[in-house]
């Protein structure tokens, strides 16, 4: 039974690694125990482009209770920007690392003095309820967040379990203290709106509510329940800035003050407080109903022990993080375990305690004995996040795939999810990347889903006659730019996706399909322009896009958040074929050299979000570049990969709020980091190999989901010793830059010998 996600201790103990771990059992959580959760730094990535949130969440949890500093700025997609001077309040749900804002449902705001109903501005917080705060008065750790707000002098602490959490407010003495809940709050980026909401004062210490948001998700239904540790002195609903009062005189007919509907609702719990009085609020959400939110709350948080929730959530994190254990410095541990934390936040648990969830068809469905997940940022996460899950989170990965298959079943278009958000399809980004996730999981031995059913969904998706010019792609061999935006990127990503279908077809013995999709997988060749040496748009008649600038970027042009310079490398499934197109290894590597040294500034700043972390024209902050460095390893110049990987690790990751140079994108930036530290990367998920780069930790032990243990050691690794000198796989010399999955999956050891200078290791691929 996974429904309540409570794993037992015996199961966990089998995951613990080696002697160091035996000395620091994951389930104890005294400070300094060395448990991985102690190294989680939720503030990493909260400044700038990372777009993660600092508030607490359980692994893959339903709730992400976190402070919001902004709701209007598109760039502040998670609601929190470390540089912002003020906090609006604390809302219950957040997206982790996306480039588009949404969620931020149900904002809780403590106030002292006459309550404001509007927020004021960052410049003039005194005009509303938002408050300045200092990072000195703010801490964030696994399962816990704390801040003291300047204006109301209220200390706010947050914790979150799987489906329920707690807010603890410590008030000064006041005759006029309050906790307001804003049902109209949503991280809107200035665009989204509340279509409908209602609130009910269920009893003297319980409130439930609901809203539908027309947002990134076009129709998102979310319910909440809140229980207060002290009955309200007064509980008031505010509608459009006016208290809702019992009134049949003024309004002609009776009106209840205990329930209201509208689009601009708040609930105000008013209290007289003593000095340092704490008032706690237990909260839960549900996509199904207020009754389910209450059931989530009452069954997961039957007590008021805030510390116990923190402790249990940290235990959850330790259990999840036990699958990979590193030996490294404090900074490395903080960076690495926080990367794992970010990789294991999303997708989110979708089903309530009773197994119900609101599906893509807006009907209520039930899942039993498994988890239903939501929020699939697949254009990002198919690259490294799901491949990581396939290795160390196989059970969850299978449940995620079953969640995608449920979405497919509920889709009127018979399509697997593209970018799923709380049972909505945002259609964000391109490709059909649920396909490589499923194919990779199947080929990596994840067994928790029906492969035939999954294959049918895959094939139907890839044969859809309407989706993004797939039909034209199938007919012509490329997506014609006169028919479709981002035609080159789509051609390339379809071709890769098709390769993964072919691999799964082959494994299932469907050799006709294998041949068919392998043919489609070679489509990349159709858009390679030998004259310019780049991937280039072609129209329906086969004419090349003219004029053509491989460094040029046009929103809605032939490339997706990038240029031909980046996308021309996107043939992860047939690098030898690409090398051949580019004129052999030397030409290929020379072109790669150019990529990393081009001065993109000269070309002007492309008008595109999400592209940061530049090394020349390589933009690590966005996903199309993520596999590129590893191509050196496949083209006979692995030392260049080794140097660049070190550069990226050192300059684009770290322990500071601004250390993430791009959107974490539901864990993809972090999963790239984890694989890279391990010394290899899934350049082509659903292929049977990983590509060896350069290890970034002295030792990493990985408990694979299949029960085998795999260890990576990097002897002599140091600041200077970034270059691979030699490799042993299970004690035997290993000269290939390919790490076969079949070797990895058996467990064993990968031992690097590192040195300060490039070696000839791996030069002949």
Residues that bind a second copy (CB under 8 A): 195-196, 198, 200-202, 208, 210, 212, 214, 218-219, 246, 248-249, 252-259, 261, 263, 289-291, 361-364, 412-413, 418, 425-429, 466-469, 483-485, 556
Pick between residue 239 and residue 532 the one whose CB is nearest to a second copy: 239
Pick between residue 35 and residue 95 the one whose CB is nearest to a second copy: 95
Pick between residue 407 and residue 510 the one whose CB is nearest to a second copy: 407
Pick between residue 395 and residue 409 the one whose CB is nearest to a second copy: 409
- What is the three-class DSSP state of 430? coil
* Residue 542 to residue 293: CA distance in whole angstroms: 56
> Are 678 and 693 spatial neighbours (Cβ–Cβ below 8 Å)?
no
The minimum distance between CB 482 and a second copy, in angstroms, equals 9
Beta strand pairing call for 376-377 and 131-141? unpaired
Pick from 309, 366, 320: which is nearest to 345 by CA?
320
Q: Which residues pair with 165 in a beta bridge?
A: 160, 283
Q: What is the CA radius of gyration of the chain?
A: 26
H helices present in 171-233, as ranges: none
The minimum distance between CB 505 and a second copy, in angstroms, equals 25
Pick between residue 178 and residue 411 the one whose CB is nearest to a second copy: 411
The minimum distance between CB 207 and a second copy, in angstroms, equals 10
The minimum distance between CB 484 and a second copy, in angstroms, equals 6
Pick between residue 319 and residue 538 the one whose CB is nearest to a second copy: 538
Number of other residues whose CB lies within 10 A of the CB of residue 348: 26
CA atoms within a 13 Å half-sphere pointing along the CA-CB vector of 714:
28
The minimum distance between CB 611 and a second copy, in angstroms, equals 17
Q: What is the DSSP string of 681-708?
A: E-SSTTSSEEEE----SSEEEEE-TTS-
Distances, alpha carbon 88 to alpha carbons 108, 182, 197, in Å: 9, 10, 20
Pick between residue 9 and residue 256 the one whose CB is nearest to a second copy: 256
> Are 161 and 58 spatial neighbours (Cβ–Cβ below 8 Å)?
yes
Q: How many residues does the chain have?
A: 765
Q: Helices 306-321 and 330-343 sit at what angle, rounded to 10 degrees? A: 90
CA dihedral 363, 364, 367, 371 (to 10 degrees): 90
The minimum distance between CB 295 and a second copy, in angstroms, equals 10
The minimum distance between CB 256 and a second copy, in angstroms, equals 5
* Residue 629 to residue 64: CA distance in whole angstroms: 34
Pick between residue 27 and residue 257 the one whose CB is nearest to a second copy: 257
Pick between residue 262 and residue 740 the one whose CB is nearest to a second copy: 262
The minimum distance between CB 263 and a second copy, in angstroms, equals 8
Q: What strands, in cross-sheet order, belong to the sheet with 89-91? A: 66-68, 89-91, 107-112, 174-182, 265-273, 234-239, 242-244
Pick between residue 556 and residue 731 the one whose CB is nearest to a second copy: 556
> Which residue's structure tokens are 């379990």?
161
Residue 124 — left, alpha, or beta (φ > 0 → left; ψ -120 to 50 → alpha)? beta
Pick between residue 1 and residue 412 the one whose CB is nearest to a second copy: 412
CA 179 from centre of chain: 31
* Residue 316 to residue 53: CA distance in whole angstroms: 19
The minimum distance between CB 298 and a second copy, in angstroms, equals 14
Pick between residue 5 and residue 468 the one whose CB is nearest to a second copy: 468
Pick between residue 6 and residue 363 the one whose CB is nearest to a second copy: 363
Question: At a CB cut-off of 8 Å and minimum separation 6, what does 136 contact?
Answer: none
> Are 344 and 386 spatial neighbours (Cβ–Cβ below 8 Å)?
no
Question: At a CB cut-off of 8 Å and minimum separation 6, what does 124 contact?
Answer: none
CA 541 from centre of chain: 40
The minimum distance between CB 590 and a second copy, in angstroms, equals 35
The minimum distance between CB 734 and a second copy, in angstroms, equals 44
The minimum distance between CB 728 and a second copy, in angstroms, equals 48
Q: What is the DSSP string of 648-659?
A: HHHHH-SSSTT-
The minimum distance between CB 327 and a second copy, in angstroms, equals 44
Pick from 292, 335, 361, 429: which is nearest to 45 by CA?
335
């Amino acid at each position: 039974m996974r429904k309540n996600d409570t794993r037992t201790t015996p199961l966990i103990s089998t995951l613990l690694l080696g002697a160091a771990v035996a000395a620091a059992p994951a389930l104890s959580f005294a400070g300094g125990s060395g448990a991985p959760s102690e190294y989680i730094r939720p503030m990493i990535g909260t400044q700038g482009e990372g777009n993660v949130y600092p508030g607490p969440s359980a692994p893959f949890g339903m709730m992400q209770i976190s402070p919001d500093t902004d709701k209007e700025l598109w760039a502040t997609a998670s609601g929190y920007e470390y540089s912002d001077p003020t906090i609006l309040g604390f809302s219950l749900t957040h997206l982790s690392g996306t480039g588009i804002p949404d969620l931020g449902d149900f904002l809780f705001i403590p106030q002292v003095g006459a309550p404001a109903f509007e927020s004021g501005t960052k410049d003039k917080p005194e005009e509303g309820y938002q408050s300045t705060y200092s990072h000195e008065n703010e801490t964030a750790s696994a399962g816990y967040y704390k801040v003291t707000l300047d204006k109301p002098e209220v200390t706010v602490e947050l914790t979150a379990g799987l489906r329920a959490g707690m807010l603890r407010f410590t008030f000064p003495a006041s005759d006029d203290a309050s906790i307001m809940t804003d049902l109209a709050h949503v991280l809107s980026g200035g665009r989204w709106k509340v279509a409908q909401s209602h609130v009910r004062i269920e009893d003297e210490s319980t409130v439930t509510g609901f809203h539908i948001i027309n947002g990134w998700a076009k129709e998102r239904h979310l319910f909440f329940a809140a229980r207060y540790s002290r009955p309200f002195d007064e509980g008031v609903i505010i509608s459009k800035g006016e208290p809702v009062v019992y009134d049949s005189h003024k309004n002609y007919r009776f009106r209840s003050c205990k329930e209201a509907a509208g689009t601009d609702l708040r609930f105000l719990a008013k209290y007289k407080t003593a000095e340092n009085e704490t008032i706690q609020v237990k909260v839960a959400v549900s996509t199904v109903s207020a009754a389910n939110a209450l059931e989530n709350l009452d069954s997961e948080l039957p007590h008021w022990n805030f510390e116990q929730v923190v402790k249990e959530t940290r235990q959850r994190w330790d259990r999840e993080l036990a699958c990979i254990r590193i030996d490294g410095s404090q900074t490395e541990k903080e960076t690495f375990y926080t990367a794992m934390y970010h990789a294991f936040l999303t997708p989110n648990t979708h089903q309530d305690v009773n197994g119900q969830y609101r599906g893509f068809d807006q009907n209520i469905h039930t899942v039993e004995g498994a988890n239903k997940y939501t929020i699939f940022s697949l254009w990002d996460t198919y690259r490294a996040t799901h491949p990581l899950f396939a290795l160390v989170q196989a059970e969850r990965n299978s449940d995620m795939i079953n969640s995608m298959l449920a979405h497919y079943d509920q889709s009127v278009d018979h399509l697997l999810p593209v970018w799923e958000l709380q049972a909505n399809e945002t259609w964000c980004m391109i490709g059909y990347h649920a396909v490589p996730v499923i194919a990779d999981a199947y080929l990596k031995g994840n067994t928790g889903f029906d492969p035939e059913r999954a294959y049918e969904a895959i094939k139907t998706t890839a044969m859809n006659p309407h989706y993004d010019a797939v039909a034209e792609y199938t007919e012509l061999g490329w997506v014609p730019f006169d028919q479709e935006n981002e035609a080159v990127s789509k051609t390339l990503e379809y071709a890769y996706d098709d390769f993964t279908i072919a691999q799964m077809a082959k494994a299932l013995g469907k050799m006709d399909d294998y041949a068919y999709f392998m043919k489609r997988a070679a489509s990349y060749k159709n858009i390679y322009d030998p004259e310019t040496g780049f991937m280039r748009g072609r129209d329906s008649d086969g004419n090349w896009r003219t004029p053509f600038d491989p460094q040029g970027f046009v929103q809605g042009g032939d490339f997706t958040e990038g240029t031909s310079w980046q996308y021309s490398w996107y043939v992860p499934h047939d690098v030898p074929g690409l090398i051949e197109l580019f004129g052999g290894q030397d030409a290929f590597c020379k072109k790669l050299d150019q990529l990393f040294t081009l001065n993109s500034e000269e070309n002007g700043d492309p008008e595109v979000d999400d592209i940061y972390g530049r090394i020349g024209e390589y933009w690590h902050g966005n996903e199309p570049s993520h596999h590129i460095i590893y191509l050196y390893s496949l083209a006979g110049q692995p030392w260049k990969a080794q140097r660049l990987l070190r550069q990226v690790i050192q300059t684009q990751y770290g322990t500071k709020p601004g250390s993430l140079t791009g959107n974490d994108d539901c864990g993809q930036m972090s999963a790239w980091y984890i694989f890279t530290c391990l010394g290899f990367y899934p350049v082509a998920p659903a292929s049977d190999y990983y590509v060896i780069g350069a290890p970034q930790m002295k030792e990493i032990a990985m408990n694979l989901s299949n029960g085998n243990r795999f260890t990576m050691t990097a002897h002599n690794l140091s600041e200077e010793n970034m270059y691979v000198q030699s490799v042993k796989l299970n004690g035997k010399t290993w000269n290939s830059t390919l790490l076969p999955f079949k070797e990895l999956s058996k467990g064993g050891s990968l031992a690097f010998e590192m040195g300060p200078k490039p070696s000839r290791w791996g030069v002949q691929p």
